[in-house]
Amino acid sequence: MPRKAKAREPVPLSVLDQSPIRAGGSAADALGETLHLARLCEALGCHRYWLAEHHASNALAGCAPEVLLARLGAVTKRMRIGSGGVMLPHYSPYKVAECFKLLETLYPGRMDLGIGRAPGTTPYIAAALAYGSPASGPEYFPQKLLDLEALLHDEAPATPGLEKARAYPRTDHVPALWLLGSSEDSARLAAERGLPYNVACFINPGIREDIFQLYREHFRPGRSGDKPRACLTVFAVCADTEEEARRLSLSRELWFLRLATRHRDGGFPPPEEVEQHPFTDQERAFLQSRMHNSVIGAPEQVRDGLQEMVQRFGADELMVVSITYDFAARCRSHTLIAETWQD
């Protein structure tokens, strides 16, 4: 059975922001809202604030988290900030190490470098990002991760020919390296490398509930830590009533339905448009499967639902992603979650 978290000691609460673009809105609006929400979440006492990476999207504005983090660090003071995550198969580990060592120099002791293996885009855009590089596929990911960790710690990369490479600037602190994932393979890799591990339950709602147990059983201390750290990322929407929360959450679900079934990547639709959509039985079943392990409702319902997931999975930390059409509703959602989480 997964390890149980103590019910009366809430684990640290953090936020993942995908910088969503509403229908009729702009990427500039979305990025401005990211900065506003980060300041709010810091005031609410959130532990981390991470930015996602998505490419060629009309609905998600964050294509370069390392760029946006430079601005995010300037508008926050204490909260840890980071990437959730950088999709390492697209990039040189050396360049990623330089970017995050520079960010760590600007904001010492606050920087997290979350690394993912998924492409975060279509095969065509992945090819454009690779630009002909023969070492851009997911099969190179474990080696790239190994070299990245060495470069962050001012050690020699393992890849032949790179032994003398060192990433600059030199820093007093090392950005905290996390592995992101939603599968057994990522759990085993995080454990073998001794890395903190963040599970994207909102991406894979059917992920096995003992994923952190598997991670802990195989964990081996490494450069990045001598103890396992497990963070669960969950989609949640909170409002004053359950009815309103469910109404708000459907903007994201209709957007995903259109993306998955019709390859339409417009902005997130308003609730009024969702209410007029003629859902088929097949579409409703698809959305119901997607809602598994999402937590939606009034404040006490969401608090209890999130606590139950933390205990069921055995998480050391909780990260929440919340998307609504209306930005004020998203701020309200995070506010209600943060305030009730400490109760």
Residues 220-241: pLDDT tens digits? 999 988 999 999 999 999 999 9
SS3 labels along the chain = CCCCCCCCCCCCEEEEECCECECCCCHHHHHHHHHHHHHHHHHCCCCEEEECCCCCCCCECCCCHHHHHHHHHHHCCCCEEEEEEEEHHHCCHHHHHHHHHHHHHHCCCCEEEEEECCCCCCHHHHHHHHCCCCCCCHHHHHHHHHHHHHHHCCCCCCCCCCCCCCCCCCCCCCCEEEEEECCHHHHHHHHHHCCCEEEECCCCCCCCCCHHHHHHHHCCCECCECCCCEEEEEEEEECCCHHHHHHHHHHHHHHHHHHHHHCCCCCECCHHHHHHCCCCHHHHHHHHHHHCCCEEECHHHHHHHHHHHHHHHCCCEEEEECCCCCHHHHHHHHHHHHHHHCC
Asked if the model's pLDDT at residue 183 lies above 50, the reply is yes
What is the average per-residue pLDDT within 89-103? 97
**pLDDT tens digit sequence for 39-51:** 999 999 999 999 9
pLDDT of residue 97: 98
Name the domain count of the chain.
Answer: 1
Look up the domain containing 180 and give its range: 13-341
Predicted structure pTM score: 0.94
Dist CA 141 CA 148 (whole Å): 10
Q: What is the pLDDT of residue 7?
A: 47
- Percentage with pLDDT > 70 across the chain: 97
For position 193, which CATH number holds? 3.20.20.30
Q: Look at residue 233 and tell me if it is in a domain.
A: yes
pLDDT per residue as tens digits for the range 117-144: 987 788 888 889 888 888 777 888 999 9
pLDDT 10s digits, 3-25: 443 445 789 999 999 999 999 99
Please indicate whether residue 3 or residue 281 has the higher confidence score (pLDDT). Answer: 281
- Tell me if 187 is assigned to some domain: yes
**Is residue 179 included in any domain, yes or no?**
yes
Residues found in the chain: 343
Asked if residue 168 belongs to a domain, the reply is: yes
Average pLDDT, the chain: 93
Mean pLDDT of the 285-313 span: 92
Q: Is the pLDDT of residue 182 over 60?
A: yes
Going by C-beta distance under 8 Å and a sequence separation of 6 or more, which residues neighbour residue 192? Answer: 218, 220
